[in-house]
């Protein structure tokens, strides 16, 4: 079986990394194509995943269309050469379009309800749409729901064990109270008009005043005053750090979900909410703040978490949640492999049908030929009987 996987974001690398290795271990041929993204490419190299970068980064929504067109054209050229059975992706705009052209089956994983543009461009062309059970929308017969989140493809306990050596790497005393902060960029098509914290400096100052050691990561440029707080560990160590933090405070839903699933209470400050952030909030692991005064309300919640010494609560909430969830890598592998198996079965059926048609055609030709008199037989016929 030949599989193409497309990567546009660092989270996509984490999501597919175990599935890629498992598919290859089953002797499937996997081709990985990416759009330029510094962290995503760094992660692909760190995990030893062979890949090809097909297009550069877009620096604005205006340039996104041109980059996407280039990416799709180059992906189509590669797919015509490879002739994949399945093309898989998160979001899956290019994957769904290219699969339609080359006759492959497209498997799209998604969890972001408000990404209207991506859904409009990808969903009509996709063969299978895999979403968490908490996804708010019903897509129809193409939809496959599973009990889990994207992040459980790489943070399920069967896949990930936090490494405490990250604390020494980051210069953190294990006895320190640690707050990890993340500020997001707002340049994605589905982030237009949205926002999170009003004042990054105030966030760091309030947490520090509460006695926390603050480490931050950001998708946007920050004031020079926050430079000393910037995280310097390698990107692939971020999950280790989140696991040992006392609180996560940030604007990014993915990182908030990662922290929550590792048992670290997450304060998510963003005007956007999704099915999975709501679900994690219901399980007492994430606290979302949108609307007016979200900055102040979010900070107050983060400070109350730091003051609360009942750490066992977060562990219990996590274990209760995980008991009802699956290893999402298993979902990814079985969905892709199952799609290919179905395609192979269809291909075999078509081949058998073609062979049967050839036999029938041959038999009909033989029968038809056998019903016609030979030349010698015609010579023996009376003249009046001849046509």
Q: Enumerate the domain spans of the chain.
A: 2-156+328-346, 165-322
DSSP three-state, residue 83:
coil
Kind and range of the H or E run holding 269: strand 266-269
State residue 361's pLDDT score: 53
Mean pLDDT of the chain: 87
State residue 365's pLDDT score: 52
Fold of 2-156+328-346: Rossmann fold (3.40.50)
Which letter does DSSP use for residue 29 in this model? E
CA neighbor of 31 nearest in space, from 80, 67, 68: 80
Angstrom distance (rounded) from CA 51 to CA 265: 35
State residue 344's pLDDT score: 54
Average pLDDT for 329-346: 77
Q: What are φ and ψ of residue 151, in 5° steps? A: -65, -20
Q: Are 258 and 241 in contact (CB under 8 A)?
A: no
Q: Does the fold of domain 165-322 match that of domain 2-156+328-346?
A: yes
Which of the pair, 222 or 22, is modelled with greater confidence?
22
Q: pTM of whole model > 0.75? A: yes
Question: Taking 50 as the threshold, does the pLDDT of residue 159 lie above it?
Answer: yes
Report the DSSP pairing between strands 29-35 and 52-55. parallel
Q: What is the CA radius of gyration of the chain?
A: 28
State residue 378's pLDDT score: 46
| pLDDT, tens only, 83-99 | 999 999 999 999 999 99
Handedness of CA 234, 239, 245, 246 (dihedral sign): positive
Angstrom distance (rounded) from CA 305 to CA 247: 7
| pLDDT, tens only, 223-237 | 899 999 999 889 999
Superfamily of domain 165-322: Glycogen Phosphorylase B; (3.40.50.2000)
State residue 339's pLDDT score: 61
State residue 255's pLDDT score: 96
State residue 351's pLDDT score: 66
Question: Taking 90 as the threshold, does the pLDDT of residue 355 lie above it?
Answer: no
Average pLDDT for 92-112: 97
């Amino acid at each position: 079986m030949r599989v193409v996987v497309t990567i546009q974001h660092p989270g996509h690398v984490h999501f597919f990394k175990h599935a890629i290795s498992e598919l290859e271990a089953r002797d499937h041929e996997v081709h990985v194509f990416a759009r330029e993204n510094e962290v995503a490419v760094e992660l692909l190299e760190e995990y030893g995943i062979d890949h090809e970068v097909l297009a550069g980064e877009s620096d604005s929504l205006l340039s996104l269309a041109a980059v996407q067109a280039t990416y799709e054209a180059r992906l189509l050229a590669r797919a015509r050469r490879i002739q994949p059975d399945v093309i898989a992706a998160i979001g899956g705009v290019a994957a769904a379009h290219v699969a339609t052209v080359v006759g492959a089956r497209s498997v799209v994983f998604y969890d972001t309800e408000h990404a209207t543009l991506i859904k409009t461009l990808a969903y009509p062309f996709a063969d299978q749409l895999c979403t968490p059970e908490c996804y708010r929308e019903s897509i129809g017969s193409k939809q496959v729901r599973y009990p889990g989140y994207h992040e459980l493809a790489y943070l399920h306990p069967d896949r990930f064990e936090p490494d405490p050596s990250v604390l020494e790497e980051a210069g953190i005393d294990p006895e320190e109270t640690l707050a990890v902060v993340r500020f997001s960029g707002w340049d994605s098509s589905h982030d237009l008009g949205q926002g999170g914290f009003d004042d990054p400096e105030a966030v760091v100052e309030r947490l520090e005043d509460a006695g926390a050691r603050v480490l931050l990561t950001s998708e946007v440029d920050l004031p020079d005053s926050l430079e000393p707080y910037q995280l310097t560990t390698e990107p692939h160590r971020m999950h280790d750090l989140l696991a040992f933090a006392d609180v996560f405070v940030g604007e990014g839903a993915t990182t908030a979900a990662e922290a929550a699933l590792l048992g670290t209470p997450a304060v998510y400050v963003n005007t956007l909410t999704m099915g999975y952030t709501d679900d994690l909030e219901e399980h007492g692991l994430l606290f979302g703040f949108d609307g007016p005064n979200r900055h102040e309300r979010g900070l107050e919640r983060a400070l109350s978490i730091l003051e609360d010494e009942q750490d066992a609560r977060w562990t219990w909430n996590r274990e209760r949640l995980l008991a009802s969830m699956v290893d999402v890598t298993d979902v990814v592998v079985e969905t892709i492999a199952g799609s290919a198996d179905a395609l192979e079965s269809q291909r075999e059926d078509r081949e058998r049908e073609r062979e049967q048609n050839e036999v029938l055609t041959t038999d009909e030709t033989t029968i038809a030929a056998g019903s016609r008199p030979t030349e010698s037989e015609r010579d023996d016929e009376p003249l009046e009987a001849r046509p």
